[in-house]
Structure 1
Amino acid sequence: MPFVNINHGLHNEPHGELKPPQVLVDLLEQADVQFNGNRPWDIQVHDKELYRRVLTRGSLGFGESFMDGHWMCDAMDVLFSRLMTVGIDHQIAGWFKFRMLVELIRNYLFNFQSITRAFQVGERHYDVGNDIFEAMLDSTMSYSCGYWKSAENLEQAQHDKLDIICRKLQLQPGERLLDIGCGWGALMQYAAEHYDVSVTGITVSKAQQILARERCKDLPVTVELKDYREITGSYDKVVSVGMFEHVGHKNYPTYFHTVNRLLKDNGLFLLHTIGLYKTAKTLDPWIDKYIFPNGKLPSAQEITQSVESVFLIQDWHNFGPDYDRTLMAWWHNFDHAWPELRKHYDERFYRMWKYYLHSCAGFFRSRQGQLWQLVLNKRQCEGVYRSVR
């Protein structure tokens, strides 16, 4: 390990316990976080192996140590917000320059979001168990950021999100809507019931397809298991909610040209996606390994460069802080349901899910993460678009 001396600062106290290495103590000090401190956001160390894992594996080691019970924290969302606000995650990544270089080369040489790999995230995440998502999400099964402008609870926030999407798309009775990455069918069901449109949805998750078909069985809704590159047809409106994060930068041009091919000249396209405050070519290694394999979060620059000459951007709406509140609501629901869920999942899964939801909440609270809704159309589109808030 050429960049970090993993033995630096590691020495035994007289009572036999291993002191944390000074390099980690100094890092945490930037965020006013301590090992074994008395604040809710301090890290309580249960196993000294935590230190070596962080020093040798970075954020991946930090997350895996939590899954293995090596540390605990009473306010993990606050902890992650503090760490990310001062950029400690990026500093740790900087220790592993050689590994990062290898990862960047791999991302440039290989297309990890090719058609042959597109279904991996469905199999490894979205198919983990509908019982998990039914317990965690609201009744619409919306697995994306709610819109909390006027909402007092998760159910209302998701209802308001679905409605503002439909209003931004200016849906009219009888229109055909394409939903790329339709999930468990929340938006398709809502649009068909409230806006009298017919909907075609696609997903890469078999579990999502089965439940979405059941939920929409009496509506003019079709749910297909396929990759976006395989879609044919012509649609009045196109929407994609929480799916662009799986497209990958190599495929951005293909993605937007595909939507352009499917969208009628006077149509509208709404893209709802998580965004990064600055461009990064790789995903956090723990999230990539355990939650969203082959993921890639876009920056504003990457989107605008890919959209040029394909679409006009008519509206760009950012409500990233709403994702923090959404994630904490999901955590409350999941934790409340755990006594029943634990019959089918072990404690390591519980800690993995806890780490996932709290680290993501901290990601948005620190403003590293954004949530964007873009409305786009072709230059041939007539009329003036009026934004909706």
Structure 2
Amino acid sequence: MSNQKQLIEKLLADTPIQINGQNPWDIQVKDDSFYGQVLKEGSIGFGESYVQGKWECEQIDELITQILLAELDKKVRTKFDLLTKLQFLFFNLQNKTRAYIVGRQHYDLGNELFEKMLDHGLNYSCGYWKNAKNLDEAQLAKLDLIAKKLGLEPGMKVLDVGCGWGGFSEFAARQYGCTVKGITISKEQAEYAQKRCKDLPVEISLKDYRDLQQHYDRIVSIGMFEHVGYKNYATYFSKLYNLLADGGLFLLHTIGTNTSHLGNDGWLNKYIFPNGVLPSIAQLIKGTEGKFVMEDWQNFGPDYDKTLMAWYANFIQSWPSLKTKYSDETFRIFKYYLLCCAGTFRARTTQLWQVVFSKNRKQRYDAPR
């Protein structure tokens, strides 16, 4: 055990992180089996050992930030990390028969949890904080920014790919007079969005994007591309290209990474977003070649740090009313998930992109900010 502890301490030697130190980002070890678990299982072992109560940390978000800045994630490679990558390499984990797995595991956990954690509009993606004072303002600003980038006008037919609980679908119909088709792979989300938009020209379906038909003046995809998978990028962009009318605009709002990867972090893949993959610029743009014209690319990744910390504050504040329905394990899983993700954006290893594409558009495009 002492050798395993020494190995961990050696890895941390060039970072401000200490074992059982006094700083809020230091790891407080409660069970010495933590050391072997991390060395053997990598990121999965690190996350699972936290959920199991083997260590604590006052500021997990800052701990993860320091780990990533020191690139410790690249120095601990295990067979568990390799197996995760091999799965993504050899199998299409996001094919049509598997596309609904993440809906059942994560998005169908219960609307009450997300109602407590998210803004009042249930927008489960990065807010736009440029002029916002709180989470609700940031999410409304994001919706309006997207609408303006798309140049929405009354009567336009809009496709919302991965509509979630219907936030943008309702916004586009109510504020801009559009007719909207929204799709999601979550049963809970679909039912909620249908009720939310019942008096509006909005149709919500439980459907995979590959099964869509018809043509649309505008297409938007907010926080859904992370579930497509790199093996399906060409299919995804080809499908949306065929669905978009000539002269139309398509806005993609997605998390992205600085380097290309085959799969997701092992712990996030197992406990939060199964089969998820974050695209790099190279992976994303390759699927659009010969199809769309890229009109605008905006990165406001640091805004996701603020968004996640706002979700975390809501989650912690609401836990007393949620804990009768959810286990202590769920509490520690969500706490670790939200703070870890905030740390990745703070370290700038992950980004938030809004990319506007056009199809056979002749006129100049000027993006609002």
The answer to whether residue 368 in structure 2 is matched with residue 388 in structure 1 is: yes
Alignment match of 1:326 (pick from 307, 331, 344):
307
Q: Distance between the aligned counterparts of 1:103 and 1:288, measured in 2?
A: 8
For 2:70, the equivalent position in structure 1 comes to 86
Alignment match of 1:228 (pick from 193, 201, 209):
209
For 2:6, the equivalent position in structure 1 comes to 22
Alignment match of 1:9 (pick from 3, 13, 27):
3
RMSD: 1.1
Question: What SS is found at the alignment partner of 1:314?
Answer: strand
Q: Percent identity?
A: 49
Following superposition, the deviation at residue 149 of structure 1 comes to 0.4
* Per-residue Cα deviation, 1:8-67 (whole angstroms, up to 9, x for no partner): 714xxxxxxxxxx22210212222101100111101111111111101101100100110
For 1:276, the equivalent position in structure 2 comes to 257
For 2:45, the equivalent position in structure 1 comes to 61
For 1:369, the equivalent position in structure 2 comes to 350
The 1:136–1:99 alpha-carbon spacing in structure 2 relative to 1, beyond 3 Å, is closer
User: Which AA in structure 2 matches 1:228?
Assistant: Y
Following superposition, the deviation at residue 76 of structure 1 comes to 1.0
User: Which AA in structure 1 matches 2:126?
Assistant: C
Following superposition, the deviation at residue 109 of structure 1 comes to 1.9
1:106-145 superposed matches below 5 A = 106-145=87-126
- Which runs of at least 4 in structure 1 moved beyond 4 Å after TM superposition? 98-102
For 2:35, the equivalent position in structure 1 comes to 51
Q: Distance between the aligned counterparts of 1:104 and 1:388, measured in 2?
A: 39
Q: Do 2:170 and 2:197's aligned partners in 1 also have CA atoms closer than 8 Å?
A: yes
Mind listing any 5+ residue stretches in structure 1 that lack a counterpart?
Answer: 1-6, 11-20
Q: Do 2:162 and 2:224's aligned partners in 1 also have CA atoms closer than 8 Å?
A: yes
The answer to whether residue 341 in structure 2 is matched with residue 360 in structure 1 is: yes
For 1:180, the equivalent position in structure 2 comes to 161
Question: What SS is found at the alignment partner of 2:195?
Answer: helix
Alignment match of 1:155 (pick from 120, 123, 136):
136
* Per-residue Cα deviation, 1:188-207 (whole angstroms, up to 9, x for no partner): 11111110001000000000
Following superposition, the deviation at residue 286 of structure 1 comes to 0.2
For 1:17, the equivalent position in structure 2 comes to none
Q: Distance between the aligned counterparts of 1:27 and 1:147, measured in 2?
A: 36
Alignment TM-score, normalising by the size of structure 1: 0.93
Following superposition, the deviation at residue 85 of structure 1 comes to 1.3
Q: Distance between the aligned counterparts of 2:227 and 2:84, measured in 1?
A: 17
User: Which AA in structure 1 matches 2:23?
Assistant: R
Q: Distance between the aligned counterparts of 1:71 and 1:303, measured in 2?
A: 37
The answer to whether residue 12 in structure 2 is matched with residue 39 in structure 1 is: no
* Per-residue Cα deviation, 1:245-264 (whole angstroms, up to 9, x for no partner): 00000000000000001000
Q: Do 2:27 and 2:57's aligned partners in 1 also have CA atoms closer than 8 Å?
A: yes
User: Which AA in structure 2 matches 1:367?
Assistant: R
Following superposition, the deviation at residue 166 of structure 1 comes to 0.2
Q: Distance between the aligned counterparts of 2:138 and 2:261, measured in 1?
A: 30
Q: Do 2:180 and 2:202's aligned partners in 1 also have CA atoms closer than 8 Å?
A: yes
Alignment TM-score, normalising by the size of structure 2: 0.98
Question: What SS is found at the alignment partner of 1:264?
Answer: strand
For 2:189, the equivalent position in structure 1 comes to 208
Q: Distance between the aligned counterparts of 1:341 and 1:102, measured in 2?
A: 35
For 1:301, the equivalent position in structure 2 comes to 282
For 1:4, the equivalent position in structure 2 comes to none
Mind listing any 5+ residue stretches in structure 2 that lack a counterpart?
Answer: none
User: Which AA in structure 2 matches 1:385?
Assistant: Y
For 2:56, the equivalent position in structure 1 comes to 72
Question: What SS is found at the alignment partner of 2:181?
Answer: strand
User: Which AA in structure 1 matches 2:351?
Assistant: Q
Alignment match of 2:268 (pick from 281, 287, 310):
287
Following superposition, the deviation at residue 71 of structure 1 comes to 0.6
User: Which AA in structure 2 matches 1:297?
Assistant: L
Q: Distance between the aligned counterparts of 2:264 and 2:332, measured in 1?
A: 20
